[in-house]
């Protein structure tokens, strides 16, 4: 990978041997390996059986989980917040595991739309809740730094399943809670 990055530096008109760039290929390789570690992790090991019996079936909301990802179209970052709510069906998951799930799927080349549904699908698979809602809000550098160059626009995506899709009251409760 270092050689490829060095070639990119040459192609854009830089000298990879100049002082400030000598270690850049190695640093970029390390950065990309970190930013794409979701390809090499075992998500079941990350969740690690952190399941507990649910005492009731009231909505659980994990709000404002920050995430960082790379756009698969331009390899530029996008970042934002993820909001996850679910209605337990006899089991719950340790709260920190939701942030780890978000990190796992966001640390890949991604599009926000797929990222949102992957998170919802995985949580639905492991918990089988009565309903799940995932909303993601993100700023995309591919829109901010290039192309249309819009600094204040952001994208919102959602995945609603079960009660969150079928019941307007449940959906509205979730959407109102994440506005706070």
pLDDT digits (tens, 9 = 90+) for 2-53: 999 999 999 999 999 999 999 999 999 999 999 999 999 999 999 998 999 9
3-state secondary structure of 12: coil
Q: Which stretches does DSSP call E strand in 90-151? A: 91-93, 109-110, 131-140
Q: Is the pLDDT reported for residue 180 higher than 90? A: no
Return the CATH number of 46-178, one of 3.40.50.170, 3.40.50.300, 3.30.1130.10, 3.30.450.20: 3.30.1130.10
Q: pLDDT at position 151, please?
A: 87
CA dihedral sign, ordered 177, 120, 36, 111? negative
- Maximum distance among all Cα pairs of the chain, rounded to whole angstroms: 63
Residue range(s) of every CATH 3.30.1130.10 domain in the chain = 46-178
Between CA 59 and CA 10 the distance in angstroms is 54
pLDDT for 75-120, tens place per residue?
Answer: 999 999 999 999 999 999 999 999 999 999 999 999 999 999 999 9
Position with higher pLDDT, 153 vs 157 = 157
Count helices and strands in the chain by DSSP H and E runs: 8, 7
Residues 6+ apart with CB under 8 A from 35: 68, 69, 70, 107
Predicted TM-score (pTM) of the model is 0.94
Interval 139-156 mean pLDDT: 91
Torsion angle, alpha carbons of 20, 25, 26, 29, to 10: 140
Pairing relationship of beta strands 91-93 and 109-110 according to DSSP bridges: unpaired
Q: pLDDT at position 12, please?
A: 97
Q: pLDDT at position 49, please?
A: 87
Query: Which of the four pLDDT bands, split at 50, 70 and 90, describes residue 154?
Result: very high
Q: pLDDT at position 27, please?
A: 97
């Amino acid at each position: 990978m270092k050689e490829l990055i060095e070639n990119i530096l040459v192609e854009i008109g830089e000298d990879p041997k100049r002082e400030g760039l000598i270690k850049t290929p190695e640093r970029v390789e390390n950065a990309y390996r970190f930013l794409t570690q979701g390809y090499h992790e075992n998500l079941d090991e990350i969740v690690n059986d952190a399941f507990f019996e649910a005492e009731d079936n009231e909505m659980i909301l994990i709000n404002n989980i920050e995430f960082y990802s790379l756009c698969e179209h331009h390899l530029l970052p996008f970042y934002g917040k993820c909001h996850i709510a679910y209605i337990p069906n006899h089991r719950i998951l340790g709260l920190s595991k939701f942030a780890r799930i978000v990190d796992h799927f966001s640390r890949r080349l991604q599009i926000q739309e797929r990222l949102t549904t992957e998170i919802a699908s995985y949580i639905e698979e492991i918990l089988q809740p009565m309903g799940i809602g995932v909303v993601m809000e993100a700023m995309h550098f591919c829109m901010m730094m290039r192309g249309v160059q819009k600094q204040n626009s952001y994208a919102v995506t959602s995945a609603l399943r079960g009660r969150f899709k079928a019941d307007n009251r449940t959906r509205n409760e979730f959407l109102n809670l994440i506005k706070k």
